[in-house]
Amino acid sequence: IIGDDARTMKISEALLKEGFYVPGIRAPSVPKVESRLRVSFSAAHSKKDIEGLAGALKRALKNENADTNTRTD
C-alpha cells in the first residue's frame, strides 16, 4: 500500500519504464487513502524476473522519496 494516488501512479509508471507491468489500484477499487500496487506472479516468472522486479521497485520507491509511512504489506 502506497497510500497517495499520485505517488502510486508515478511508481507504477517508473516500473513500466523498466519493463514491469505493475498497475496502480486506486479508489473506488480500494478505500480512498489506500492506493496500492498490484503485483501478480505466475509459474512463468523466473527467479531473475522476481529479483529484477524487486530491484526496480526499490529504485522506484527511492526515487519517489518513499518515507517511513509507506506500508509494505
User: pLDDT means per 10 residues in the chain (73 residues)?
Assistant: 94 97 96 96 97 97 67 52
pLDDT score, position 31:
95
Cell numbers for 4 = 497517495
Task: Quote the pLDDT of residue 72.
Answer: 52
Helices 47-63 & 5-17 angle (0-180, nearest 10): 130
- CA 63 – CA 57 distance, rounded (Å): 10
pLDDT at 68: 40
Name every residue whose Cβ is closer than 8 Å to that of residue 39 and which is 6 or more positions away in sequence.
22, 53
Which residues partner with 24 through β-bridges? 37
